[in-house]
Structure 1
Amino acid sequence: MLESNDEIQGLFGVAGKVVLVTGGSRGIGYAIAEGFVKAGARVYICSRKEADCEAAAEQLSAYGECHPIPADLSTVEACQALARELGDRENKIDVLVNNAGALWAEALADYPESGWDKVFDLNVKGPFFLIKALLPLLEAAASPRDPARIINIGSIDAYHVPKHETYAYSSSKAAVHQLSRHLAWQLASSHVTVNVIAPGLFRSKMLQGTLESRGEAALVEHVPLKRLAESSDLAGAAIYLASRASSFVTGMILTVDGGHATTL
């Protein structure tokens, strides 16, 4: 039972939580990391390029606490190394946001094995083995009333057919959705929830080429809410899934797409 206004406001608080955002130096990862930093969490971001990671952390540190840990999470060894470094700095992790990802677009006749492997290694294998490596730290933060949280970044391309030849990307994101449901069941007894944010069109490096070739007006024509997703849309979804307001929510795919793939 909620007894006071302060308790209701506290439902969405994440101040003091320890948060790791992979792929946090740009795009959706940066937007989510910024939201957590501004909400008072202690945030770690990682990305493959050391300079980009450190620059992003410095920018975010203007709003609160943010620390860079460069890492290429396409290998099991790198996931384990990241977990060890975090374990040296923290005795628990409240929230893991698996956002790091890759896309490869090429005609079916020319689609290379190397492109397929690059996408699946980073989009599917990386999150799985990072969760495995970080599980002790997540379980250390977990309780029945306030579970530890895993938030995997999926995509609306996981359940509608994209018009571009991004075969590995859409397949990998479908795998992320199903993996998240499986882990939600498996980790429930450890008081760790697993949910997915499935973004729609967001102004990012992945979308930049399409924006330049087609224009924003053409892209949002089939979006019922007639705009691209904004940073606050993704940050708000992540903060909800990390807050006490979602403590009884697991195995869910939260679509943030303005109705693009979910109402048409």
Structure 2
Amino acid sequence: MTNHTARFDGKTVLITGGTSGMGQAAARRFLDEGARVVITGRDQGRLDAAVKDLDGGDRVLAVRGDAANLDDLDTLTAAVKVRFGRLDVVFANAGVGSFLPIGDITEAEFDRVADINFKGVFFTVQKTLPLLAEGGAIVINASWTLHRGMAGASLYAATKAAVHNLSHTLAAELGPKGIRVNSVSPGYIDTPMFHEAIPEEEQDDVVAAVSAGRLGTSEDVAKTVAFLASEDAAYVNGQDLIIDGGLVAAIAEPSA
């Protein structure tokens, strides 16, 4: 059996939006497997709390910044270069939810969501690419909503479809440079964003739609991201792994 405990010894991993949920779980996973980890977030207080919780000592670098702000991304890449010299993995995770009927979406809301979910991912890759070593890996956080229509998710799902497509085109473009690009599409994951988007009284119905019979956890996603970033996935490129307990592909058995 493969020993995964040191897959990332000596490697440097960047995780945008690493202060909670899937991002923080991924940071902890990579640390546990030997990596040096850089996390970002817009709120300094949450960054400080995440660093304390991760307890990774000098293997953790936290850089405050907005993934949709190019000046902040320049500051981030400069900080990574000074501290660690290079990157081996980028997990473009930063994103926001938006679940409104199409008629209620304002131009300001469109710009907010597109800036973070698409522009932010695009320029995170562009700005960090000079630091990515040959043999590096990029993983983009997409969503199950790009695979199956959900009412009220037109804007959110469109931005996630955009970054999913980006993983395909970048896999073609960066493959000759020895860099793999894949995406993950989480389903209903027990994160702060989930609880903000789904009222408590509706959550039982959400779980009932999942054939696995439960919500996913941030750790479920983190393990998949680590796999895609590792040498275990050395011949996996341009793919999307759906982490949804069967939500997209299987009809849940009605409860008795």
TM-score normalised to the size of structure 1?
0.89
- Residue identity matched to 2:88: D
**Structure 2 unmatched runs, 5+:** 252-256
Aligned to 1:161: 149
Indicate how the Cα distance of structure 1 residues 169 and 157 shifts in structure 2: closer, same or farther if over 3 A, else same: same
Contact 2:5 2:34 in 1 (8 A): no
Hey, which bits of structure 1, 4+ residues long, moved more than 3 A? none
CA separation in 1, counterparts of 2:83 and 2:190?
Answer: 33
Which residue is 1:213 aligned to?
Answer: 201
3-state SS of the aligned residue for 1:259?
A: coil
Report how many aligned residue pairs link the two structures. 250
Structure-2 separation of matches of 1:64 and 1:259: 39
Listed as ranges, the matches of 1:34-113 within 5 Å are 34-61=28-55, 65-113=59-107
Distance of aligned partners of 1:231 and 1:114 in 2 relative to their CA distance in 1, 3 Å threshold: same
- Cα deviation, 1:211-264, whole Å, max 9, x if unaligned, reads 51313x321111111111113211110111111111111101011101101234
The whole-number CA distance in structure 2 between the counterparts of 1:184 and 1:197 is 14
Deviations for 1:146-187, whole angstroms, at most 9, x for unmatched residues? x20100000001111113x13211000000100110000000
- Structure 1 unaligned residues grouped into runs of 5+: none
Letter in 2 for 1:119: V
SS in 1 for 2:64: coil
Partner SS for 1:9: coil
Two-structure CA RMSD over aligned residues (Å): 1.8
SS in 1 for 2:3: helix
The aligned counterpart of 1:116 is: 110
Q: Does 1:223 align with 2:210?
A: yes
Letter in 2 for 1:152: I
1:132 aligns with 126
Aligned counterparts of 1:112 and 1:213: Cα–Cα separation in 2 = 28
Q: Give 1:151's aligned residue.
A: 139
Q: Is the 8 A contact 2:5 2:32 kept in 1?
A: no
Q: Residues 247 and 11 from structure 1, CA distance in 2 versus in 1: closer, same or farther, beyond 3 angstroms?
A: farther
Q: CA deviation at 1:78?
A: 2.0
Q: Which amino acid in structure 2 is aligned with residue 237 of structure 1?
A: T
Give, as a single letter, the amino acid of the residue that structure 2 aligns with 1:259: G
Matched residue, 2:254: none
Answer whether contact 2:18 2:24 (CA < 8 A) is retained. Answer: yes
* Partner secondary structure for residue 180 of structure 2: strand
Shift in Å at residue 51 of structure 1?
1.0
Task: Name the amino acid aligned to 1:182.
Answer: T
- Does residue 199 of structure 2 align to residue 232 of structure 1? no
Q: Greater shift after overlay, 171-180 or 122-131?
A: 122-131
Partner amino acid, structure 1, of 2:87? I
Given the alignment of the two structures, is residue 253 of structure 1 paired with residue 247 of structure 2, yes or no? Answer: no
CA contact (8 A) 1:12 1:240 kept: no
Residue identity (%): 32
| AA matched with 2:183 | V
1:10 offset after TM fit, Å? 5.7
| Aligned residue identity for 1:151 | V
Q: 2:8 aligns with which of 2, 9, 14?
A: 14
Q: 2: distance between equivalents of 1:19 and 1:178?
A: 23
Q: How far apart, CA to CA, are the structure 2 residues paired with 1:149 and 1:211?
A: 36
TM-score of the two chains, using structure 2 as the length reference: 0.92
Q: Is the 8 A contact 1:58 1:66 kept in 2?
A: no
CA separation in 1, counterparts of 2:6 and 2:232? Answer: 6
For 2:61, the aligned partner's letter is: H
1:175 pairs with 2:162:
yes
